[in-house]
Amino acid sequence: MAHVHLPDGVIPLKWCLLGFATYSVPLALGLKRLVERPSTIPLVGTLAAVSFAAMQVPVVCAHLMLTPLTGIVLGPRLSAVSVFVVDTACALMGHGGVTVVGINSILNWSEAAGGWLLYRLLTGAGLKPGRAALVATGTVLSCTAFVPPFVMAVALNTSPYPFLFTLTPFWILTAWLEALVTSKTVGALVRMNVEWVSPGS
């Protein structure tokens, strides 16, 4: 949900460079994990492709991201690679500027890592995987829905409130729609005995 759809040149270059520099840390950890476990490359690629496809389908003035699902399946390190691949591909297609890929990757990875963490906590507390995925995804995406208005406000030197009152409600509704999709997906994977989404995996 937290995806900044701003073209190149709107956000000052120094902030864009800071975004890339900051994201280089989780990306490096993710690439290291990928090298250590080359068997996960197809899974990372599959999640990136599914997430990219979901982002191309508009839902009112928003779109699904599937970042928490990516985090739940891949974990925090590998999801950093998937998120960067998706955001780069989107930028190359004009879905946001190339210079804001670092910032978008930070925002989207926070959804993936946050979704993974909350999912693990909820399943560890005894909640069923499908319900845990629903709560984790909806909660994390609802929180990050408040971030883009402030990013755009800083970039455009304006107030965040017009964005908060017009766009954020739609983003929160879409967040819970995505939560339902993620819940059904995780539930199906668990019934198939897929180890990636089992509690404690």
- The predicted structure's pLDDT at residue 94: 83
Sorted by where each starts, the structural domains of the chain and their CATH numbers stand as 13-197 (1.10.1760.20)
Long-range contacts of 115-122 (CB under 8 A, 24+ apart): 115/67, 115/68, 115/69, 115/71, 115/72, 115/140, 115/141, 115/182, 116/68, 116/71, 116/72, 116/75, 116/76, 116/79, 117/76, 119/68, 119/71, 119/72, 120/199, 120/200
- The predicted structure's pLDDT at residue 196: 65
- The predicted structure's pLDDT at residue 199: 45
- Quickly count: other Cβ atoms within 10 Å of residue 71's Cβ: 33
DSSP state of 96: S
- The predicted structure's pLDDT at residue 115: 97
Low-confidence ranges of the chain (pLDDT < 50): 198-201
Q: What is the pLDDT of residues 75-114, one digit of tens each?
A: 999 999 999 999 999 999 888 889 999 999 999 999 999 9
